[in-house]
Each structure stands twice: as structure tokens, then as C-alpha cells.
């Protein structure tokens, strides 16, 4: 289930709606998908009045649901966790400030960001689970924990010792978390 972000496309799709169904303070209308996604996709438009004018947005899903109202309810319920996750990733990994002009470079950036997200999630669930940092999301992990100054001591390609700046108030607890994380692998 997803929401489209093209205003002109939403307006164009709204012009194709034959019947509008009331939904709270808005209306929903089903339309045929202009793109073949290779599997059945249900597409609908939401019309609402904002500042005296109609505003449109469109949604699509591969779920087989019996009504547009149910589809919209499911879309509305998915909200908070997804918004929080995207916001934390966007802020923690600085996604809004990183854009590449070339397609391959942008694709590489997206893949590296996915890798960073997965590594941070694994670190959070494995190393920080039973610590005071258990509630930290990507932004706080990057900003508050991974920014602590320190050194990694390597010998023959293996990590031998971790040193963190001793004057940092969170250094000792983080060091225990890092040692725990390294022993898991």
C-alpha cells in the first residue's frame, strides 16, 4: 500500500473518477491503473477541500479489499510507526542533505543508506537492547553514541581493543555495549 506524490497525476486521475464515495471530510473514487505493474493493483483518488479548493492525492495497493473506505482505513492506520522510522532514518543518516545528480550515484547512495539502516538496526537490537540506550533510534545513535571520540586497535586484520574518550559521560556504558556486540559476531 502506497501513496503517490505527484499533484498533476492525482488531478489527472481525479478527472477519470466516475463516482465519488464520501469518506469523513473527503471523497474517494476508484480509477483504472495507467501502468501495468505485472499484477493486480487497485488505485484510488482522495478528494478533499482545502482553503476552498479541491486537493487530490492518489493511493494504490495490491491487497484485495472489498471497499475503498476499508483501504483508506488501512492506509491511515499504517501511519505512525512508518513516519517515525522514516523520520529517524532521514535525520539520523542525513538523507535530506544527500542527493546525487547521476542516477547510478543516487542508486548507490540509496543502497548504502539501506545498508547503514540495517547495520544500525542490528546494532540497536543486539548491542543496545539491555542498556540505557535501548530506546535510541538512528538519529540518537549516530548523533550521541557513534560520535564519541575513540580508537579501534587492530592487529592482523582483527579488532583487538576499543578505546573511547574517558571523559564522555556515556563512554563506559557504550564500551560495554560495543564489547558485547563484537563478541556476538
Q: Same structural domain for residues 110 and 177?
A: yes
Report yes or no on 94 lying in a domain.
no
pLDDT at 169: 92
pLDDT digits 0-9 by tens, 34-55: 888 788 889 999 999 999 999 9
Residues 60-85 have pLDDT tens digits of: 888 888 888 888 888 877 755 555 55
Domain identity same for 107 and 178: yes
Same domain, 53 and 113: no
- Tens digits of residue pLDDT in 120-164: 889 999 999 999 999 888 888 888 898 899 998 999 988 888 999
15, part of any domain: yes
Q: Report pTM.
A: 0.52
Domains in the chain, number: 2
> What pLDDT score does 88 carry?
61
Last residue of a domain, one of 43, 77, 111: 77
C-alpha–C-alpha distance, residues 145 and 170, integer Å: 8
Q: Which domain holds residue 29?
A: 2-77
88 falls within a domain: no
Does residue 36 form part of some domain?
Answer: yes
Listed residues 60, 77, 94: the one ending a domain? 77
Shared-domain flag, residues 108 and 169: yes
Q: Which pLDDT band, with edges at 50, 70 and 90, does 94 fall under?
A: low
Amino acid at each position: 500500500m502506497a501513496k503517490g506524490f505527484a499533484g498533476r497525476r492525482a488531478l489527472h486521475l481525479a478527472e477519470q473518477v466516475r463516482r465519488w464515495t464520501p469518506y469523513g471530510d473527503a471523497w474517494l473514487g476508484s480509477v483504472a491503473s495507467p501502468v501495468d505493474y505485472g499484477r493486480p493493483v487497485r488505485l484510488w483518488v482522495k478528494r478533499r477541500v482545502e482553503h476552498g479548493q479541491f486537493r487530490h492525492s492518489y493511493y494504490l495497493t495490491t491487497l484485495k479489499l472489498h471497499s475503498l473506505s476499508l483501504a483508506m482505513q488501512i492506509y491511515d492506520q499504517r501511519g505512525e510507526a512508518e513516519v517515525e522510522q522514516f523520520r529517524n532514518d532521514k535525520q539520523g543518516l542525513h538523507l535530506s542533505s544527500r542527493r546525487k545528480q547521476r542516477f547510478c550515484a543516487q542508486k548507490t547512495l540509496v543502497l548504502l543508506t539501506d545498508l547503514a539502516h540495517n547495520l544500525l538496526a542490528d546494532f540497536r537490537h543486539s548491542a543496545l537492547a539491555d542498556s540505557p540506550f535501548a530506546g535510541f533510534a538512528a538519529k540518537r545513535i549516530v548523533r550521541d553514541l557513534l560520535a564519541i571520540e575513540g580508537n579501534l586497535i587492530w592487529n592482523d586484520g582483527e579488532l583487538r581493543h576499543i578505546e573511547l574518550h574517558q571523559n564522555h559521560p556515556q563512554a563506559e556504558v557504550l564500551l560495554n555495549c560495543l564489547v558485547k556486540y563484537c563478541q556476538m559476531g
